Amino acid sequence: MKYSSHEYQKFAVEFIKNHPVSAIFLDCGLGKTIITLTAINDLLFDSFEISKVLVIAPMRVARDTWSAEIEKWEHLKSLNYSVAVGTAEERITALQKQADIYIINRENVQWLVEESSIKFDYDMIIIDELSSFKNHQTKRFKALMKVRPKVKRIVGLTGTPSSNGLMDLFAEFRLLDMGERLGRFIGQYRNTYFLPDKRNGMIVYSYKPLPNAEEQIYNKISDITISMKATDYLKMPELVTSEYAVTFSDEEKQKYSDFRKELILELPDGEITAANAASLSNKLSQMANGAIYTDDKTIISIHERKLDALEDIIEAANGKSVLVAYWFKHDLERIKERLHKLRISFSTMDSSDSIQKWNSGKLPVALIHPASAGHGLNLQSGGSCLVWFGLTWSLELYQQTNARLWRQGQKAETVVIQHIVAKGTIDERILKALQEKDRQQSALMEAVRAELEESHGISV
């Protein structure tokens, strides 16, 4: 297929080529992959500045998305690639092939650096979903930092650089510029831009930005960062979000209230305990969805109100395909059981075959888990309706999952995202928290937005 680029894509390509270290914060649907591949192609075959590229991506994106994009576009036909996923033997074989681009999943970064015995001689690294390196204490971060000085070019791609706040940016930019802008040590970063927030004596649980810290941080990183929103540069379909409220019976309300207050809920079939706030939140989310794990990992059904709501939504879709996001394993099993009973054809989005069936319109219902399929998958061809059966606290996974349908290439005029919310439960607080975090995320995106001014040869 012949590639006809948008002006903002041309700008982003030139930015990558002109900045050996670059952070590309682009909304889902703006084409991060094709932009980066075009820049790689030019650097390999036009300016001869690089010769060997390593792409690090989420598992399914590494396996499916990058290779599909290379194969798709005519101007990339000279690129040779090798996908290093699978068993250790399969990965080694792939890494030993002659290629321009080597693609590996992020879970195997430590293996590549410390265990594979493969020479690390890449002169350019692409980190697809830079936000997965936001924790400086992880093994993947530490392993990549060991070899970072050997690499002359690095690009970090993401649409959600600080989904949980400004603290996320330290590790991401430490990896990109080796501490030049935000410092080499997390303590230094905290002391410069933050104050302790929630604490218990000397133990600090969270930090809050100092006055003007956000602006100072954005100014520090602005020279190597561009940010663009899809709604600014694309004619996006209308996005309609709504809540489908379900209401507990008096007995169910009482059980939920008792559990929240006492952290222990006695049921005929078992006992569930919540030792801390995180565990309690997890248990309350399960209960809101309709089932709960006991201490011995058996499943107790509480209600079927969300299943009934999902059934109503699928029926109201009137034959249109519906993508359903679930969170807990027992949610998946209960949804599958209900769909079997209704004789509705469905599949989980966990294989290339299921993705192909969905995009070809052969699946009335597809089930997706945000943590395993939230990044990079192009599902917009299969439908325009997404239902959140159960919510996640993660803004990153929430936005990325929504963007599987609300993105460039969506043929429907409207994308509908429905949240099945149990009234009077933690569902309402999670949804509100996602909206609050979204405002902070938008502030970052706005602050480092690429200025496509006439001085760059691009009219806005």
Query: Residue 390's closest CA among 435, 355, 342, 426?
Result: 426
pLDDT category, 242, cuts 50, 70, 90?
A: confident
The pLDDT of residue 300 is above 60? yes
List pLDDT tens digits, range 173-229: 999 999 999 999 999 999 999 988 887 778 877 888 899 988 899 999 999 999 888
Q: Where exactly are the structural domains of the chain?
A: 7-233+445-456, 238-442
Q: What single DSSP character describes residue 246?
A: E
7-233+445-456 and 238-442 have identical folds = yes
Average pLDDT rounded to a whole number, residues 332-353? 92
Q: What is the mean pLDDT of the chain?
A: 87
Average pLDDT rounded to a whole number, residues 163-176? 90
CATH number assigned to the domain with residue range 238-442, chosen from the 4 options 3.30.2090.10, 3.40.50.300, 2.60.120.860, 3.20.20.120: 3.40.50.300
List pLDDT tens digits, range 439-454: 666 655 665 555 444 3
- Give the CA count within 13 Å in the CB-facing half-sphere of 143: 17
Question: What SS3 state is found at 26?
Answer: strand
Q: Which residues pair with 264 in a beta bridge?
A: 273
The fold adopted by the segment(s) 7-233+445-456 is Rossmann fold (3.40.50)
Q: What percent of the chain has pLDDT over 70?
A: 90
Type and span of the H or E element at 55: strand 53-57
List pLDDT tens digits, range 127-149: 998 988 999 999 999 999 999 99
pTM value? 0.71
Which one-letter amino acid corresponds to residue 418?
Answer: Q
Residue with tokens 């940010």: 227
